Amino acid sequence: MYARATLGATAAIAALSLAACRSAESARTAAGSSAAVDSAAGAGAASVVTITARDFAFDAPAEVPAGLTTIRLVNQGPSLHHVQLIKLDEGKTVDDMVAALKAGGPPPKWASMAGGPNPPEPGSTSNVTMQLEPGNYAMVCFVPSADGMPHVMKGMMRPLKVTGPSRAAAEPASDVTVNLVDYDFQLSQPLTAGRHTIRIENGGGQPHELAILHLKPGKTPEDFGKWGEKPVGPAPAALLGGVSAIMPGTHVFVTADLPPGDYAFICFLPDMKDGAPHFTHGMAKKFTVS
């Protein structure tokens, strides 16, 4: 979520985040971590990786196995946090990405948005089940603070290595599909109250994300869009997860419990043509769950 900074990241962001990441990483490694990989997953089941987010650091494994993986984000707050995985082409590292950003210009073509859980409320969890391909990744939080500074600038970035080969596992059964297109969310059927496993497909021509908003009375997704770029004061909605940016032609699964009420999906990613967030192009859909 709030991935406008993804495509407009500066050398200052990269330098600050890497320095903070390295110093924090050493301390966390020495002290131990609450992050975990469920190695007891049975044959044919997705691995489960738990990542704990707090202001402003991730507790996460340094390595995880390739294949179908459920990433469980525990937000210990007090701020909102998400996980944006960025896959780096073979031979590239987080240091290479920082060097490319220091050189200026657009982000390197060898770095691609690979998804991850979008924010739950502080004290809550969100999840994404997705295929993790072997390789090197950067784990980043682009959510802005009240001062407008993305959390990556406060040190919320670290490397992740996915080791192969991929283990075979069956994808979860979904009851609703949401197709992300330029610029809409197309549902296969209406969402109802209760627990759902949602298949999210990017059928558009550019990266997209999906954040699930439980709107407060009288509020709109556009209200949240304005608040979300600089979150000051009460939020117009509660966040129930979703998926951070994924590339065209890819898909993930999200499980969410939806009580009755007014909801919205929203995408904050910057447009490839004009740089404006996708919700300003109409990629914000309000709907009612009953």
Q: Encode pLDDT of 42-92 as tens digits.
A: 667 899 999 999 999 999 999 999 999 999 999 999 999 999 999 999 889
- pTM reported for the whole predicted model: 0.87
Mark out the alpha helices in 124-217 (DSSP H runs): none
- Point out the least confidently predicted range of 89-93, 193-197, 201-205, 234-238: 89-93
Mark out the alpha helices in 32-92 (DSSP H runs): none
Interval 148-168 mean pLDDT? 89
Cβ atoms of residues 17 and 157 within 8 Å: yes
Interval 174-198 mean pLDDT? 98
CA distance 84 to 141: 6
Question: Burial letters for 198-223: b for 16+ Cβ neighbours within 10 Å, e otherwise?
Answer: bbbbbebebbbbbbbbbbeeebbbeb
Q: How far is CA 259 from CA 196, 221, 253, 271, 273, in A?
A: 11, 18, 19, 32, 37
pLDDT value of residue 104:
64
Name the 3-class secondary structure at 290.
Answer: coil
Cβ atoms of residues 263 and 134 within 8 Å: no
Structure tokens at 133: 């391909």
Q: How far is CA 215 from CA 218, 236, 254, 265, in A?
A: 8, 6, 19, 10
CA distance 156 to 17: 6
Does the structure show a pLDDT above 70 at 240?
Answer: yes
The residues near 136 (Cβ < 8 Å, ≥ 6 apart) are 87, 88, 92, 93, 94, 159, 160, 161, 162
Interval 17-41 mean pLDDT? 45
Cβ atoms of residues 195 and 257 within 8 Å: yes
Cβ atoms of residues 29 and 239 within 8 Å: no
CA 78 to chain centre: 18
Render pLDDT for 255-270 as a digit per residue (tens, 0 to 9): 999 999 999 999 999 9
Does the structure show a pLDDT above 60 at 210?
Answer: yes
Name the 3-class secondary structure at 54.
Answer: strand
Whose CA is closest to 240, among 210, 279, 203, 275?
210
The total number of residues shown for the chain amounts to 290
Cβ atoms of residues 9 and 140 within 8 Å: no
